[in-house]
Each structure stands twice: as C-alpha cells, then as structure tokens.
Amino acid sequence: MEKKHRGSRAVLAFDTSAYTTSAAAAAKGGIVCADERIHLSVEKGERGLRQSQALFQHINNIAELTEMVCEKIERGGFTIAAVAASSRPRPVEGSYMPVFLAGLNTGKSIASALHVPFYEFSHQEGHIAAAAGVLPSDKASVAFHLSGGTGEILVLRGCMPVGRAGGTLDISFGQLIDRTGVALGFEFPAGPDMDAAALCGLSDLKYHFSRRGRRVYDDPVLSPVHLNGTYANLSGIETSCLKAADTGVSREKIAAELFMRVSDAVADMTAAACRDAGADSVILAGGVASSAFLREELTDRLAHSGVRAVFGESSLSSDNAVGTARLGMAALLSEK
C-alpha cells in the first residue's frame, strides 16, 4: 500500500522537562506524525527529583523514544526536514535547567548527522504551541502557563511570549496541587489523582454567591488565594491545605475546595489580564490545564467575563514535544 504522506516533510523534536522525556514529530498544518513520552520515576512519598536524577533518566529514555518516533515517521512516509528541541524553561535571559541538555544535545547530533536545520525553543513556548497551534503574530493574545514549575500570565506575539502580565509570586499552582496531593497520600506527581478526587468531592462542596458575585463557602476548610490584581500568592493556601490534610477531613472535600478556589483565582487573574491586553481569549497551557475539573469551571467562569478559554487537546496539556515540533515546522516554512 502506498504511504499516504510519502515525501512530506516533518520536524523531529525533543523535550526533556523535569518529569517527562518526550519526542514527537509534526508536519505542515500542525499534523502530529508521532508523539511518544516516558514519565520519570519518583519514589513514593517524594515531592520531586534532583536535576541530576532527572537528567540521568532522560539520557536512559531518549534513545528508545527516538527509535519509536523515527519508526513512525518512516511508516507514515514522512522525511525529517529539520530537528528542534526545548533548550530552557522560559524564553528569558538566565533561564536554565540541566535536564534540557538531554534533548538539546540529542537534537543537535541528529540534525548534524542528517544535514538539516536545528531550532531551539523554550519549554514554555512549546506548551503554548501544543495547546493552541501556531498563532498569527499580529493578533493580541494572552496565555496562562499553568504547570508544576510555572504560573505566568503572558502577552504573546504569535506563540512567543513578549511580556509577563501576571501570575504567581511564590510557588506555582502545579506545586500547590502536587504538595497537597502528596500530603493527602497520593503519589507524585499528584495532579491526575487530585483532579479525580476533586470531581468526586464536588457534591460535598457547599457555597453561595455574594451580591458582588463572589463565591462564599458555607463550611470552608481552606483559606482563600491571596490576589492582587493579576498576581497571586499561594503560600497561605498551601499552609491551610497541609493543615487540613491532618484534620481528618476527606481528601475528596479538600481537593474539591482547592480546585474550586484555584478556578476562582485563575479566572479573576485571567479576566483582568485580558482586559489590560485588549484580548478576548486566553490560551490555558501546561499540565494543570489538563484537569477536567478546571477545564469545565474555567470555561464557564471566563465566559461570564467575556473571555473565551482555549485549552487544546487534554493530552497536549501535559509535558510533550508536539508544540516544539510545530514551532520547528513554522520556523522551517518561514525560511523559504
């Protein structure tokens, strides 16, 4: 049987973030040719990995992933026209994490061997492109990067962040959820288990709305998120989450209230940032944005503020190399 995409060009890409080794390939139009990932192993009860531990696992994983993705590229009839990789967490000066060296050096080596272009992007840019595709550069747009390491509201030019418009000032929303989840007995990373627990506990969450439209909890177990315009401090609610974990309150109720308070905070911060930027939509990217609970609540809350929530596919919210591959294809096409 003739291969459907025989001769079509694809970009091979790598992303070696803190907890996932990823390899992918994308063709023109954002078509995903391959998407493979291996999650790093974290011992039960631990809240993460040291950079040296994570880098060692990435190096062990990346050869297997490269073989799997290249096999899919060949089976699909594509040819590798360029290689891309995430080289740092964020597109700002001084942003660096050793874990990205695994994907960066692998990508450079393959590009050199194949005599094709090599492109570098940040992990953050890859998340945005994975969620929303490659956007036109002349449209005002905003993104909220919600992950284990980042909680930033960004003003974009296309998929490229050009300025920060808000976010968290201490820990990220992902760290808040993971740390609470570990305290409640879930394995790290705790996001999926906390999401499921929150959905189960939603029926036990009692609240009403004030005259100003604020959610007021009838039997709260957590303190609110402290907001100052488009910025938030999460240390206070983190402390109350850890205390609540020792009180005998069900973890479903704690998770439900936490996710609802996160929804309220993210919606308020986002609506304010969109007003300031003159944008009518927001791209919600990063692992936290894969939460079924948050997707439903934020879509509804933001719609009431006249803002359209853009999530993209749930599977592309968590760490992956698809967005990096799409950015690589856009860069390749721009060189014509």
- The predicted pLDDT at position 139 comes to 74
Rounded CA-CA distance 202/20 in Å is 30
Q: Which two tokens stand for residue 186?
A: 């879930």
Mean residue pLDDT of the chain comes to 93
pLDDT in tens, 251-289: 999 999 999 999 999 999 999 999 999 999 999 999 999
pLDDT in tens, 144-153: 999 988 899 9
pLDDT band of 44, cuts 50, 70, 90: confident
Rounded CA-CA distance 129/142 in Å is 13
Phi, psi of 311 (to 5 degrees): -105, -30
The mean pLDDT of 225-245, rounded to a whole number, is 97
DSSP β-bridge partners for residue 14:
23, 85
Rounded CA-CA distance 222/236 in Å is 9
312: helix, coil or strand? coil
Asked whether the beta carbons of 259 and 292 are under 8 A apart, the reply is no
Percent of the chain residues past pLDDT 70, beyond the cut:
97
The number of beta carbons lying within 10 Å of the beta carbon of residue 150 is 24
- The predicted pLDDT at position 3 comes to 52
Q: pTM of the entire structure? A: 0.88
Outline where the chain has alpha helix (H).
51-75, 100-114, 123-132, 173-183, 191-201, 235-244, 251-277, 292-304, 322-334
Given its phi and psi angles, is residue 29 left (phi above 0), alpha (psi -120 to 50 degrees) or beta?
A: left
Only one residue has tokens 């853009």, namely 310
Rounded CA-CA distance 82/308 in Å is 34
Structural domains for the chain: 8-134+319-334 (3.30.420.40), 141-316 (3.30.420.40)
The mean pLDDT of 69-83, rounded to a whole number, is 97
The mean pLDDT of 91-97, rounded to a whole number, is 92
The mean pLDDT of 32-60, rounded to a whole number, is 92
- The predicted pLDDT at position 39 comes to 94
Biggest CA-to-CA distance, the chain: 66
Rounded CA-CA distance 336/323 in Å is 21
The mean pLDDT of 90-94, rounded to a whole number, is 91
Phi, psi of 30 (to 5 degrees): 80, 10
Rounded CA-CA distance 52/213 in Å is 48
pLDDT band of 5, cuts 50, 70, 90: low
For residue 59, the number of C-alpha atoms closer than 13 Å in the C-beta half-sphere is 10
Residue with more model confidence, 3 or 99: 99
- The predicted pLDDT at position 2 comes to 42
Q: C-alpha angle 262/264/267, rounded to 5°?
A: 105
Rounded CA-CA distance 9/215 in Å is 51
- The predicted pLDDT at position 4 comes to 66
Residue with more model confidence, 136 or 314: 314
